[in-house]
Amino acid sequence: MHRRIQTFKPRRGRYSKEQVAAITSSAYLVELHESVPLSKHFSSNRVILDIGFGMGDATAEQARAHPEVGILAIDVHTPGVGRLLALLEQQQLTNVRVIEGDALTLLHDVLPDRSIVGVRAYFPDPWPKKKHHKRRIINAEHLDVLARKLVPGGFLHFATDWQDYAETARTDLHAHPAFDLLPEGAHLPLASRAERPRTKFEMRGIAAGRSITDLIAVRKD
């Protein structure tokens, strides 16, 4: 069996009683291998894939701002999954579904082609060592499968505080035949630097003196 590249580092964390309860009982949790139409989980036919949501604050904020849009959020960090599920319950946000697992498995094996209107990848693991660049979730190889899952006109919004990652991703998006990379500062209704909430990873990058880059690309027809 072909072993797929791992794009994440498993992380441990503490669980609150609230997070444990959410993971074990939430109606918003979806099994990774549940290959069913998105229409089963979302009333909207506009669904955004949120890859690596961390502790879930930005996802919940964007779900609250756009209740007319569905968000399929995936992360491998169990405490973060529990916290996002708890936030959804507390704030009664019904337009989000959460998956605990690897985004590449979802993209390759579960998610139908041309099924999502957008992809968000905010501050994913930069894998700074050159020998690990193949593990980056935004790279030339992974752009192929992301393009297949997006509807024509759908967007990819990537943010990072690692300059090397930003430049590599910019080069890959420029070269990819399925994407049009928008000018810096571009604003789409559901994708812009202003639209994106600040995350703790962004704040850490700023505190460390690193610049923040937002890249937005549109899936060609």
Catalytic residues: 125
The tokens of 172 are what? 């890959």
Beta-carbon-side half-sphere exposure of residue 86 (alpha carbons within 13 Å): 17
| Residue 98 host element (H or E) | strand 96-100
CA 151 to chain centre: 16
**What tokens does 164 get?**
């090397």
Instruction: Please give the backbone phi and psi of residue 60, each rounded to the nearest 5 degrees, phi first.
Output: -65, -40
Nearest CA to 216 out of 154, 127, 148 is that of 154
